[in-house]
Structure 1
Amino acid sequence: MSNRGYDVVVDVDQEGDLGHTDLQEDLEFHSSNFDDPSSTSSTKIPPDSSTSFLPGPATSSSSNSNTKHYLWTLSFYAQAFDVDTAEVLRRCLAALYPRANFLDVLEGNPDLYGPIWIATTVVVILFLTGTISQYLAHSGKEHFAYDFRLLSGGAGLIYGYTAFVPVGLWAVLRWWFRVEGANLLEFVCLYGYADLVWVPVALVSWSPLSIFNLIFVALGFAASAFFLLRNLYPVLSATDVKTSKILLVVVLALHAGLAIAIKILFFAAGSPVGGPKDTPQEGVGGGDKGERVVRMMMRF
């Protein structure tokens, strides 16, 4: 039989039974409530948070970020060491080659891991190169003895400067001038990474040539001072113009004092106020007066 003119072809058996086609008994029809807005909220299935691998809602993360860390808890100090080696190296490179503001490089996550290790490295290298400088300046008349006071003096100088100067600057800005943008951890981190420039300076300043040592220390002072002033100026400018200039001069003067102390204490063989490193006799003038003054200050 031809199916011309038919849209559907149905096969039937010989008895003509089309099968069970009573749809009314098998299906139940219900009225649609898609247009009812209240029905969508009532039928919403909440997610199972115990088995979900997706991060929680924003409210949960915000509540964790607002958690208070008290001074006597380990979590208070752990947040200052939340960096890896790659991040510390990236920040060291940004400190040596400051192409952008260092506070922007920190991205709101200042650390103490880098500053502590940088300060320790500077102390050790200054002691080693200072000892080499003393040995080269030694006349050879007497047996050369290591001066381990350089190590204790260098530790007091570098650690003291890196810790107390940014704390004092932050205290003045926060409690005296009410600058809300001043952050203590950022200041300590900034000064800590600024010490990195003294590592290459110390490595090339051990020679007995006075003019070279003076040039190298001056270049180290200029580079680190530029790094500090460039990054501190946006914070210090929150005060009035006169006050910000005074604070910049104070920061520059303190950093110049650090450079002069490093030059006299470790590389005094080539210092303009220095002389030979031989121990002066009692009652005889001579010797390095500047070095003795700095060493006496380091004892306290």
Structure 2
Amino acid sequence: MASNNDPFQFQEFEEAENLLETNRDAVTVSIEEEDQKSKSQRSAGGFSPDFTDEDPLRTDDKAELLGGQKKSAPFWTFEYYQTFFDVETHHVKERIIGSMLPWPGKNFIQVYLRKNPDLYGPFWICTTLVFAIAISGNLSRFLQYSGSSNYKYTPEFGKVTIAATVIFSYAWLVPLGLWGFLLWRNNKILNLVSYSFMEIVCVYGYSLSIYIPAVVLCIISYEWLRWCSIVVALCLSGSVLVMTFWPALRDDHPRVVMAVVSAIVLLNVLLAVGCKTYFFSSPEIDSQVKSSPKTEVVKPTSST
């Protein structure tokens, strides 16, 4: 027989007895009955009691986000490039203005990109520049020689293809070569600033935005105005590129720094001068118009 002082013996509380005595009609519910009822309701509603209500995929995503292990899509999938087109309109506007108005000491990647490069702005800037160059070149030639009787205007649609090849090659192949070179130098010199390929493409794409108003001004058939607009666009675009990539080059060997900076500026000069001389000057038409003999009107002599 158990002792009265046994601590493990079940004892009823006096407060519960007093409450039951005051209210004899009260209904008591046990915890075990509630658990049985909840299980039966979940089974009747089609939910198995063996599984939790949370989605396992959702819990896995939460765990990856909290742990910083969210998996990114592979680069050959559409989801990988979709993130580079998810950009706000005011961000694109700020980046275009920043590329047109460079300020000393402001790095374009650090100030405007903020580790969030986009391809939306560079793609449409390059596309707009291609059509602006082709249309402005045809229109300027038409306005320049429309008064000549020996010139017959024919639209040159092939120059759209040439402009697209030149612009998109410059906006993609040059950043690819620069990114590979910076990656190679970063492996040899560990303290260099490194940029991703998408960041370099974004910088080159936005640096071309100043050329759009420059080529539109080239429609006016004044050679000095055309050269002034091209030179101004060249200086602004080159300044953005040099100030952006200078932090990644300044700690390298001086000869390497001078070679890379010279290559960046030289390729930009070749693009600007090449577009000016090819699309906005036509020496073959000039020689054709100038060398063509003028037709003289011969008055008939009256015979007496």
Give the TM-score taking structure 2 as reference length. Answer: 0.69
Q: Which deviations, in whole Å up to 9, do the C-alpha atoms of 1:195-214 show, x marking residues without a partner?
A: 00001101111122111111
Distance 1:244 1:184, change over 3 A: same
- Distance 1:252-1:163 versus aligned 2 partners, 3 A rule: same
Alpha-carbon deviation of 1:85?
A: 2.2
Query: Are 1:167 and 1:184, in contact at CA under 8 Å, matched by a contact in 2?
Result: yes
Do the aligned residues in 1 keep the contact of 2:102 with 2:239 (CA within 8 Å)?
A: no
Tell me the residue number matched to 1:132: 139
1:93 equivalent in structure 2: 97
SS of alignment partner, residue 252 of structure 2: coil
Partner Cα distance (1:133, 1:59) in 2 = 56
CA positional deviation for 1:94: 1.7
| C-alpha deviation, 1:143, in angstroms | 1.9
Contact 1:150 1:265 in 2 (8 A): no
Kindly tell me: are residues 61 and 108 of structure 1, through their superposed partners in 2, closer, same or farther at Cα, counting changes over 3 Å? farther
How far apart are the structure 1 equivalents of 2:184 and 2:95?
29
Paired residue type of 1:263: K
For structure 1, which runs of at least 5 residues remain unmatched after alignment? 1-23, 29-47, 270-274, 285-300
Q: 1:233: Cα distance to partner? A: 0.7
Aligned equivalents of 1:152, 1:58: Cα separation in 2: 46
Which of 224, 228, 243 pairs up with 1:215?
228
Per the TM alignment, residue 27 of structure 1 is displaced from its structure 2 partner at its CA by: 7.8
C-alpha spacing 1:57/1:72, structure 2 compared with 1 (3 Å):
closer
- For 2:154, which of 140, 145, 170 is the aligned residue? 145
Matched, 1:277 2:277: no
Q: Pairwise mapping of residues 181-196 of structure 1 onto structure 2 (< 5 A)?
A: 181-196=194-209
Q: Which amino acid aligns with 1:153?
A: I
Select which of 94, 114, 118 maps to 2:121: 114
1:159 to 2:172 alignment: no
Give me the whole-angstrom Cα distance separating, in 2, the residues matched to 1:153 and 1:58. Answer: 47
Aligned counterpart in structure 2 of residue 60 of structure 1, from 37, 62, 66: 66
Q: Equivalent residue of 1:69, what SS? A: coil
Partner of 2:20: none
1:50 positional shift:
4.6
Task: Output aligned runs, 1:2-41, within 5 Å.
Answer: 25-26=14-15
Amino acid at match of 1:196: S
> Which residue is equivalent to 1:289?
none
Q: In 2 relative to 1, CA 115–140 (structure 1 residues): closer, same or farther, beyond 3 Å? A: farther
Pick aligned residue for 1:255 from 268, 272, 279? 268
User: What SS does structure 1 have at the residue aligned with 2:92?
Assistant: helix
Distance 1:141 1:59 in 2: 71
Q: How many angstroms apart in 1 are the aligned matches of 2:84 and 2:225?
A: 39
Q: Distance in 2 between matches of 1:59 and 1:129?
A: 50
Q: TM-score, normalised by structure 1?
A: 0.69
Structure 2 partner of 1:266: 279
CA 136–180 in structure 1, closer or farther in 2 if over 3 Å, else same? same
Compute the displacement of 1:80 (Å). 1.8
Which residue is 1:78 aligned to?
A: 82
Distance 1:199 1:232, change over 3 A: same
Q: Are positions 1:233 and 2:246 aligned together?
A: yes
| Aligned counterpart, 1:168 | 177
| TM-superposed deviation, 1:268 | 1.4
1:92-129 CA distance string (max 9 Å, x none) = 12212234321021010001111000000000111111
Paired residues of 1:123 and 1:151 also in contact (CA < 8 A): yes
Q: Check the 8 A contact 2:193/2:248 in 1, yes or no.
A: no
Between Structure 1 and Structure 2, how many residues are aligned? 231
Q: Deviations over 1:159-191 (max 9, x none)?
A: 111110011111111135525613111100000
Which residue is 2:109 aligned to?
103
The range that moved more, 218-227 or 67-76, is 67-76
